[in-house]
Amino acid sequence: GNSVTQMEGPVTLSEEAFLTINCTYTATGYPSLFWYVQYPGEGLQLLLKATKADDKGSNKGFEATYRKETTSFHLEKGSVQVSDSAVYFCALSPGNQFYFGTGTSLTVIP
Amino acid sequence: DAGITQSPRHKVTETGTPVTLRCHQTENHRYMYWYRQDPGHGLRLIHYSYGVKDTDKGEVSDGYSVSRSKTEDFLLTLESATSSQTSVYFCAIKGERESTDTQYFGPGTRLTVL
């Protein structure tokens, strides 16, 4: 079947620290992989995506690489800001359905 | 912005009453989805639609029904609301053309069942 496992939070970092949020997946076929971000009181917004093995998605300083050999799609950012405080969701889609992780809450303190 | 609106944005109701949530999109997307979001569970799919009058169940469909009589509207109905259905409900569409593998979400409806 299809499923996503992401590291549990909450995660608290100081401003300018390095961020890694781990995500691994189980899938049939060759899914697309996503990271979504949710700010308080809002819906999910697409942060980045990768559609095939070894692709790197990037946006707003965040990066994630589609690793088929380790079935992983870890989210990284070199220097976090207070404005990055949010909940981050890893997701996959093999076609018309989407499967989400449980979300990781990130708080960045000045 | 995928032009998705949800109504109402907030609702408080009592156990046993029927509730209908509306999702409206302006760009003729074929696929529409209803999710619920609960702490510790992430997003769970309730129902989805792949065209007018074409719907299918997700992993948590019990107690919910949906209807899609027009491309732009996807309705979620709780026939008899229960406290376990207190949640935040999100509608989503699946992009098309160059974004066929991506979902876009509405702002959510916070439902409280007393």
Residue B99 — pLDDT band, cuts 50, 70, 90?
low
pLDDT digits (tens, 9 = 90+) for B58-93: 989 999 999 999 999 999 999 999 999 999 999 999
Which residue of chain B has the CA closest to A50? B101
Q: What does DSSP say about strands A62-65 and A75-77: parallel, antiparallel, or unpaired? A: antiparallel
The beta-carbon neighbor of A89 closest among B42, B92, B108 is: B42
Residue A95 — pLDDT band, cuts 50, 70, 90?
confident
pLDDT digits (tens, 9 = 90+) for B15-29: 999 999 999 999 889
Three-state DSSP class for residue A84:
helix
Distance, CA of A73 to CA of B103 (rounded, Å): 18
Q: What is the mean pLDDT of residues B90-103?
A: 79
A98 touches chain B (CB under 8 A): yes
Q: What is the mean pLDDT of chain A?
A: 94
Q: Count the neighbouring beta carbons within 10 Å of the beta carbon of residue A40.
A: 7
B95 touches chain A (CB under 8 A): no
Q: What is the mean pLDDT of residues B82-108?
A: 87
Q: What is the mean pLDDT of residues A66-91?
A: 96
Q: What is the mean pLDDT of chain B?
A: 92
DSSP H/E element including A4: strand A3-6
Best mutation target, B29, B37, B101, to test chain A (most A CBs within 10 A) = B101
Q: B103 and B32 in contact (C-beta within 8 Å)?
A: no
pLDDT digits (tens, 9 = 90+) for A13-62: 999 999 999 999 999 888 999 999 999 888 999 999 999 999 999 999 99
A49 touches chain B (CB under 8 A): yes
A49:B101 CB<8 A: yes
Residue B46 — pLDDT band, cuts 50, 70, 90?
very high
